[in-house]
Chains A and B, each alone.
Chain A
Amino acid sequence: MPNGGSNSAVAVWSVLRKECRTEWRTRYGLNAALLFAVASLTAVSFAAGRLGNRTDIMAALFWIVLLFATLASMSHAFVREVEARTMLLLRLVATPTEIAVGKLLFNLLFLLVIEAVTVPLFMVLMGAPPVRWGQFLAVLGLGTVSLAASSTLVGAVIAQTRGRGALFAGVSLPLLLPVLAAAVGGTREMWAANSVAPSLKLLGAYAVALLAASLLLYDHLWED
């Protein structure tokens, strides 16, 4: 007999565990993301040296490294399921919202791992001035949620379309620009010892709007 009252939290947790196990076994995205982060930071460090007095450039560079290190792999969260033809299995065992929320949580976790490596490396190689940790972590946290939410949403929407690769870039750009602008602005103001409140408000509102739109949309995904 079926478990008619299928528990969504259990399903989300199960999808998250499956994603972690898949990533652990294949290292599909993690190695590529870490390679990009380390290689790009090392290259900039060799070319320009330490940028301690150019906090504006550092703020932009920091978010560019994070963005590119993560987007290439996060866009594959759904595409991999389609290409491996496992999407049908997923759809038979969970609702679209459960699948998408599980993948969103995985993307958040993935970003945190990348950041755990990238942030200290960035501080050392770029000679970044001391950070105000409360403000820095707030900008980083909200920026991370927004990045993960937007890339998960776009990945889910384009997963079953043709020309997914090109579409991902095109559809992501307008969603990511506000995140990048606010995150770079907040990081720059943090280093300049100015208030980061406006950037935090924008990032927070954007993250909430993205998550709300995602939850509304996910259940209508993949309806043929």
Chain B
Amino acid sequence: MSASSLRIAGVEIAHRFGPRVAVRPVSFDVSAPGVAAVTGENGSGKSTLLRILCGLLRPSRGQCVFEVDGRAVEPRRRRLFTGLATPELSFYEEFSAAENLAFAAETRGLPNPTSAVRLALERVGLTPRADDRVSAFSSGMKQRLRLAFAILHEPPVIMLDEPGSHLDDAGRAVVEHIVQTYGPKSLVLIATNEPREMALAERRIELSGRGLERTA
């Protein structure tokens, strides 16, 4: 499958959690290859929108189009094509970084889990701590592990939610390197308000909602 045949579009997508508006109606159309930034105020629904796009959440309104080779991919299969790094993603604390990724690689059915894990850890600079348990990791190291998890299966869509959070300068350089590596061949979506991360994107999906809004 070629990543260039991948398209994600939103048609008036909106979502609410009970009385709270999580995402105000938004429409967009992005395709691979490329980098798009999802921006908006705190609470405007950037993370929620990413969860909708990768099939974890069903939008309250509107339609999400996820096409590969011109064929629609149903929500439950989108995870196969998507790598997601989000602050909500936690790992098994009793396992090492390598064991966590190996579990993900084996469960996803990757043909060579060991080399996939090694490569992903290398790319985020975690190789020296590969065998340390996640419980001993700092916030920044856990964030690097999330990035490794997102690129582990070389997906055609990479969604990075606040990718620079908890990272030092070297960590932010890892984010930039990932975006520069995958941008030319995949679709990279970055949910962020950081100017440095927004500058990595050539397109922008602007969310207009306010986090404390309670009525439609």
Contact = CB atoms under 8 A, between A and B. Distances in A.
Interface of A: 1-7, 10-11, 14-15, 17-18, 21-22, 25-26, 84-86, 88-89, 91-95, 98, 219, 223-224
Interface string B63-87: 0000000000000110111101010
Interface string B84-103: 10101111111100011001
Contact of B76 (A5, A219, A224): A219
B57 interface: yes
B90 A21 contact: no
A33 B34 CA distance: 53
B182 interface: no
A219 to B, nearest CB: 7
Interface residues of B, number: 38
A92 B19 CA distance: 28
B90 A93 contact: no
Contacts of B1: 1-2, 4
B153 A2 contact: yes
A72 B77 CA distance: 34
B167 interface: no
Interface of B: 1, 3, 51, 54, 56-58, 76-77, 79-82, 84, 86, 88-95, 99-100, 103-104, 106-111, 149, 153-156
A86 B107 contact: no
Given A3-B110, A224-B56, A93 B104 contact: yes
Contacts of B106: 10, 14, 17
Contacts of A89: 89-92, 100, 104, 149
A7 B89 contact: no
B88 A3 contact: no
A170 B111 CA distance: 44
28 contacts: A2-B1, A2-B156, A3-B110, A3-B153, A4-B80, A5-B109, A6-B80, A6-B109, A11-B108, A11-B109, A14-B106, A15-B107, A17-B106, A18-B92, A22-B94, A25-B94, A84-B90, A85-B89, A88-B90, A91-B56, A92-B54, A92-B104, A93-B104, A98-B107, A219-B76, A223-B58, A224-B51, A224-B56
